[in-house]
Amino acid sequence: MASLVGSRVERKEDKKLLTGRGKYTADVTFAHQTYAYFVRSPHARAQLKNVDISKAEKASGVVAVLTGKDIANDKIGGLIAGWRIKSEDGSDMKVPAHPPLANESVNYVGDHVAVVIAESLDEARNAAELVKVDYKILKAVVKTDKAMDSESIYKDIPKNLCFDWLLGDRAKTQEAFDKADKIIKIDLINNRLIPNAMEPRAANADYNPSTEEITLYTTSQNPHLARIIISAFNGVAPENKLRVIAPDVGGGFGSKIYPYAEEVVCSWASKKIERPVKWVADRTESFLSDCHGRDHVTHAELAVKNDGTFLGFKNETIANLGAYASVFGTVTPTYLFGPCATGVYKMPAAYSNVKAVFTNTAPVDAYRGAGRPEATYTIETLVEKAARELGMDPAEIRMKNFPTQFPFQQTLVHSVDSGDYNAGLKKAMEVGDYKGFEARKKESESKGKLRGVGFCSYFEACGIAPSAVVMSLGCGIGLWESAEVRFNPTGNVTVFTGSHSHGQGHDTTFAQIAADRLGVPLENIEISHGDTDKGPFGYGTYGSRSLTVGGTAIVKACDKIVAKGKKVAAKMLEVNESDVEFKDGEFIVAKSNQKKTIGEVAFACYLPGTYGEVKSPLPEGEEPGLKETSFFDPGNFSFPAGSHICEVEVDPDTGNTEVVKYTAVDDFGTIINPLIVEGQVHGGLAQGIGQALYENCHYDDTGQLVTASYMDYTMPRADNFPEFNLGFTCTPATSNPLGTKGCGEAGAIAAPPAVMNAVMNAVGTEVSMPATAEKVWKACQKMNKSNSKAA
Amino acid sequence: MKTFNYHSTKDVKEATKLASSSSAFLAGGMTTLPSMKLGLASYKDIIDIKRIKKLSGIKVSGKTVTIGATTKHAEVAHSKEVKKAIPSLAALAEGIGDPQVRNRGTIGGSIANNDPSADYPSACIALNATIHTNNRKVSADKFFTGMFETSLKKGELIEAVEFQVPEKSCYKKYPNPASRYAIVGVYVAKHKSAVNVAVTGAKSCVYNDQNISGALSKSFSSSALDNVKISSSGMNSDVHASADYRANMVKIFAKKAVEAC
């Protein structure tokens, strides 16, 4: 039987998703359904003096109007920060209380003040206009780099500083800098982004008063985590009385990893009114209240020798957490950012210092890449600047500093198990025809365009995460993954995974793995996920973890099935277990060529006992049934790496920048399904190029979100991209039996510096991200590159 | 969305009779409906005029192109007669929004709304259009009076737009990367008597740039604009483009339009 691992199997789930037969949270409507509409703060910062619900309560169709006072009276817990970070001085991070409905103050535009629940959405929305809120408006703190010099938003958090964190050795780094021939410095902004999943967030909670159970449908990347948080921290219902279902979910990119105020409020309210409560975000609410991504202000320095050898690296960053510390908000700019900031290089000494600040903006949390794009943007623009200042080719300076021995102990944390960075960069130069760049540049010049080329070599740490490591670093949970492989009596298979698919194609990739391992046809395998009542506890999907961690759990569970199957087959064939081999779905006795298929063995496991002439096939002491569960806790992160080369054309008259050629060569270890992997790379590149050229979340000085719709927030579109040239190299991961490394975030990590380096190469001066037409035009004016005289 | 009364009318008289201070005419609904859904606008009566036959269609004579108010952008874009008489007008229609908008949105709706970044108002100014309403004819230079404002009176309904066929013309737009409306759009039209240079997107309302049209009336070439100064005073400024940038783009896109004429 040909192996399915490595083949371009078309996605099993696409027929459903592309023909409108998916089932999303908004598609779920219960009998006696009610609808929730949230009253949100129109101000970035204000004291709540009074919330008058008397008129709204009497409005047509209104079932209940609930406020922060009600939620406090019912002792519902606040939203949590999932990762404790300690400051350099050893003190704990400082976080403000985050009640699901505000009680004393509101701290960003979109913050939750009250919820109106009515018989219809229109009635809820109309009644929400009747809730009279008396705000005492306060001066908002908005800008990342000004937050520490502004008035404290929370009285017990001086300078709005959550923590001042250090990774690395300042003194040793300074010693390295003292020996340098040259110090390259850079100041940059990692622009704030809004995730914009295609499906807006939604929740529908149904409390059954007779069983006291809540069933919560929600748009989650991680339903098990939602259940444990809503149970253990918010205290809405005990875990055994809360079932969380994340059905089809239309994209998350990090913004749906954890429960928000709305899920907590809908669950609590359903219990209170004893009717199901449904909320679906409209697009404006998504812009305002989904957790945003990035938002760093960084000063970084690289110490180099004249021959291009790196000696040391300093990274001083201010990270904006928004108004509250979200679940992964504190780890994203620290352990997911700091370690990777030295890039893919031998760096004898380094440190990353991160000051995380609160501002009156939406909370910031993990967004595709989470910390690694910010790290890669820092080091890769710095390295390219070093190459320019030293007069070296950007490829040459990188190769000079690549490690060649693996495992490679990276400067700050990681021990990288495998990789071949030279091979990746060489292949990228070949696939992208780097040699032909000068000729293409001349051709662009003949059309009046400026052409630039930019590189990015990256590695990242994903496959989140070894529990022992992350828990020692302050993570509130272990990040193993589970799988249950269940043979049905008739020989087909259901695989339960604790990870969750919301675009990644698990239904296909995981089925390929199980099909190979069990010798069962692909179409006889179903992948089940997203329901806390089905299958074991798991940790969901983010951080490019599902395949390396969750896929491995499936492999291990399949191996247990085969191990039990061998015993049963031996009994059925009346031979010793050691004589039985398993291959392509059959248990075979080599010397006699007797065999039993895995389907026959499964059937026998479900019908044990003696029936007429048929004797029990179960060996003594063996339990009936054929179902195995496995939990896999990885020994290490996985470390995908690669080199991307971008070419842009700039119109110096308008500053309009077009990506005209993009080459990505990635090492994802063993690839299970190249078709899906290429799709993941394409999606990541779209988001990475989007960040570099288009996307920018902009708050004005009063904390109003200016880019609160697609009229102003520039989502990239298909016509913004060229055909991507993809290539792969392969050094299998040693930390999992499949040899896989995560692929979901690579594009979003590598593209921003590759694109920005190309833009800066084209115009010959620094440009901040996103490189909008006006910024690039101004750079061209400064460098006298325009074809036309200014107006 | 607040509830409202929906009326589908078959003739102009019936439609205008229903109109009041709390009503809106509905053609393509490309702005009206989203505004209502977002709660930015609400009306007691919505008067649908799409079924009024005389409001739709394209008539081309030697000197004019007359387009009915409810004619969709896609119909203008694909009209052989328009492409022949004023190719730049068909091209402008093809560049509005996306296929969904072009197959719903109408010329009358666009000019009645007078969005400062809409495309059609620039065509009206550049092509010396006459706006035919149910009770008068208004020249384009008197029709567009300010941001989202026109000289239409309450209950007055646009029936058609009559464009003058120029000797040559071209519309060049620099689209907003997010909305794809014009950051600036410049419509250059050379008529026998004069050159018009209508600019959209740059200010609160479409306008005829006298400096550029003056220079082009003397010499219809892009180099004639080299020494023309464009003031950024009164120009829009937002997260996508400052007033200064817009001023520069007006000149750049005027040149591009002249070169492509």
Of 3.30.465.10, 3.30.420.10, 3.30.390.30, 3.30.70.1520, the CATH number of B54-164 is: 3.30.465.10
Question: Are B2 and A126 within 8 A, CB to CB?
Answer: yes
Evaluate if residue A318 carries a pLDDT over 70: yes
Q: Where are the domains of chain A?
A: 14-138+201-280, 296-464+636-782, 480-632
φ, ψ of residue A499 in degrees (nearest 5) = -85, 175
pTM over 0.95: yes
A320: helix, strand or coil: strand
On the question of pLDDT at A790 being above 60, the answer is no
| pLDDT at residue number A784 | 85
Taking an 8 Å cut-off on Cβ atoms, the answer to whether B2 and A773 are in contact is no
Residues from chain B that touch A777, judged by Cβ atoms under 8 A, are 245, 248
The mean pLDDT values, 10 residues at a time, for chain B of 261 residues are: 93 96 96 92 97 97 96 98 98 96 98 97 98 97 97 96 98 96 98 96 98 96 96 96 98 97 93
Of B38, B239, B245, the CB nearest to A707: B239
Beta-carbon separation of A710 and B38 below 8 A: no
Q: What distance, in Å, lies between the first and last C-alpha atoms of chain B?
A: 46
What does the alpha-carbon distance between residue A618 and residue A606 come to, in Å, rounded to a whole number?
Answer: 10
Which residue out of B1, B42, B252 would a mutagenesis test of the A interface target, given it has the greatest number of A Cβ atoms within 10 Å?
B252
Measuring CA to CA, which residue among A344, A456, A354, A451 is closest to residue A403? A344
B247–A694 CB contact, under 8 Å: no
Binned at pLDDT 50, 70 and 90, residue A474 comes out as: confident
User: B2: which chain A residues are within 8 Å (Cβ-Cβ)?
Assistant: 126
CA distance B171 to chain A (A): 17
With CB atoms and an 8 Å threshold, state whether A773 touches B241: yes
B227 interaction partners in chain A (CB closer than 8 Å): 789
Determine whether the interchain pair A791/B174 forms a contact, defined as Cβ–Cβ distance below 8 Å. Answer: no
Which chain A residue's Cα is nearest to B251?
A791
Of all residues in chain A, what percent carry a pLDDT higher than 70? 99
* Whether pLDDT at A789 is above 60: no
A58 contacts: CB under 8 Å, gap ≥ 6? none
Residue A161 has pLDDT above 80, yes or no: yes
DSSP A638: B
Q: Residue A785: is its pLDDT beyond 90?
A: no
What pLDDT score does A476 carry? 80
Q: Tell me the shortest Cα–Cα distance from B92 to chain A, in angstroms.
A: 19
Contact between B174 and A654 using a beta-carbon 8 Å cutoff: yes
Look over chain A and give the mean of its residue pLDDT values, rounded to a whole number. Answer: 96
What is the second-level CATH architecture of the domain A14-138+201-280?
A: Alpha-Beta Complex (3.90)
**Both tokens assigned to B108:** 């009358």
A653 with B247: Cβ contact below 8 A: no
Which residues of chain A make contact with B247, given a CB cutoff of 8 A? 791
* Of residues B1, B240, B247, nearest to A791 (C-beta): B247
User: What number is the average pLDDT over the span A541-551?
Assistant: 95
Query: Do the chains contact at B178 and A122, CB–CB below 8 Å?
Result: no
User: pLDDT confidence of A579, banded at 50, 70, 90?
Assistant: very high
At A1 the pLDDT is 61
Q: Are A273 and A63 in contact (CB under 8 A)?
A: yes
The yes-or-no verdict on residue A788 having pLDDT over 70 is: no
Contact B229 A788 (CB under 8 A): no
Q: Where are the alpha helices (DSSP H) in chain B?
A: 12-18, 32-37, 73-78, 80-85, 87-94, 99-102, 107-113, 120-126, 140-143, 210-218, 243-260
Chain A residue with minimum CA distance to B1? A122
Q: Which fold has domain A480-632?
A: Aldehyde Oxidoreductase; domain 4 (3.30.365)
Give the chain A residue whose CA is nearest to the CA of B244. Answer: A791
| One-letter amino acid of A474 | G
- Asked if omega into A209 is within 30° of 0 (cis), the reply is no
Extents of the domains making up chain B:
5-48, 54-164, 168-260
- A405: CB partners within 8 A, 6+ apart: none
Closest Cα in chain B to A653:
B252
Contact list in B for residue A653 (CB cut-off 8 A) is 252
Count A/B contacts: CB-CB distance under 8 Å: 58
A715 vs B contacts (CB less than 8 Å): 178
CA distance A382 to A567: 60
Strand partners for A187: A299
Q: What is the DSSP letter of A491?
A: S
Contact B179 A712 (CB under 8 A): yes
pLDDT tens per residue, range A327-351: 999 999 999 999 999 999 999 999 9
Q: Which residues of B touch A707 (CB under 8 A)?
A: 178, 239
Res A699 pLDDT > 90:
yes
Instruction: Give the whole-angstrom CA distance, residue A493 versus residue A517.
Output: 12
Residues of A in contact with B100 (CB under 8 A): none
- Select from A286, A714, A715 the residue whose CB has the most chain B CBs within 10 Å, as the one to mutate to test that interface: A714
Q: Please tell me which of the candidates A710, A713, A790 has its beta carbon nearest to residue B248.
A: A790
* Chain B residues with CB within 8 Å of chain A CB: 1-2, 38-39, 174, 177-179, 181, 226-230, 232, 238-242, 245, 247-252, 255
- Chain A residues with CB under 8 Å of B255 CB are 788
Average pLDDT rounded to a whole number, residues A458-470: 91
From the candidates A287, A657, A700, A789, which should be mutated to test the interface with B, based on the most B CB atoms within 10 A?
A789
- Quick one: pLDDT at residue A611? 72
* Residues of A at the B interface, defined by Cβ within 8 angstroms: 122, 125-126, 284, 653-654, 656, 694, 696, 698, 706-707, 710-715, 772-774, 777-778, 788-791
In chain A, whose CA is at the least distance from the CA of B223? A788
* Sign of the dihedral defined by the CA atoms of residues A65, A69, A72, A73, in that order: negative
Radius of gyration of chain B (CA): 18
Separation in Å, CA of A120 to nearest CA in chain B: 12
Q: How far apart are CA B81 and CA A426, in angstroms?
A: 56
Name which of B98, B174, B228, B240 to mutate to probe chain A: the one with the most chain A Cβ atoms within 10 A of its Cβ.
B240
Would you place residue A616 in the very low, low, confident or very high pLDDT band (cuts 50, 70, 90)? confident
Q: Which residues of B touch A787 (CB under 8 A)?
A: none
Q: What is the pLDDT of residues A196-246, one digit of tens each?
A: 999 999 999 999 999 999 999 999 999 999 999 999 999 999 999 999 999
pLDDT per position as a tens digit, A659-686: 999 999 999 999 999 999 999 999 999 9
* Closest-CA distance of chain B to residue A6, Å: 39
Contacts of B95 in chain A (CB under 8 A): none
For A282, the closest chain B residue by CA position comes to B38
Nearest CA-CA distance, residue B1 and chain A, Å: 7
The pLDDT, as a whole number, for residue B169 is 98
The Cα B202–Cα B214 span in angstroms is 19
Residue pair B92/B18 in contact by the 8 Å Cβ criterion: no
User: Do B178 and A698 make contact, defined as CB atoms within 8 angstroms?
Assistant: no
Q: CA of B248 to nearest chain A CA: how many angstroms apart?
A: 5
ipTM of the complex: 0.95
- Closest partner CB to A788 (pick from B2, B181, B252): B252
Q: How confident is the model at residue A614 (pLDDT cuts 50, 70, 90)?
A: low
pLDDT for A612: 75
CA A3 to chain centre: 30
**CATH architecture classification, A296-464+636-782:** 2-Layer Sandwich (3.30)
Q: Which member of A122, A656, A710 has the closest CB to residue B178?
A: A710
Amino acid at A13: E
For chain A, what percent of residues have pLDDT higher than 90?
94
Report the pLDDT value the prediction gives residue B1, as an integer from 0 to 100.
79
| Residue of A122, A714, A788 lying closest to B177 (CB–CB) | A714
Answer yes or no: same fold for A14-138+201-280 and A480-632.
no
Inter-chain CB proximity A654 and B252 less than 8 Å: yes
A323: which DSSP letter?
S
Give me the architecture of the B168-260 domain, per CATH: 2-Layer Sandwich (3.30)
**Cα–Cα dist A392/A136, whole Å:** 58
Taking the CA atoms of residue B76, residue B80, residue B85 and residue B87 in that order, the dihedral angle to the nearest 10 degrees is 60
Residue A451 neighbours by CB under 8 Å, 6+ apart: A437, A440, A441, A443, A444, A445, A647, A648, A649, A650, A660, A762
pLDDT at B249: 98
Cα distances (Å, whole numbers) of residue A21 to A27, A200, A203, A750, B47 = 10, 18, 19, 35, 36
Q: Is the pLDDT of residue A465 over 90?
A: no
Q: Nearest 5°: phi and psi at A226?
A: -60, -45
- d(CA B225, CA B188) in angstroms, rounded, equals 13
Distance from the Cα of residue A589 to its chain's centroid:
47
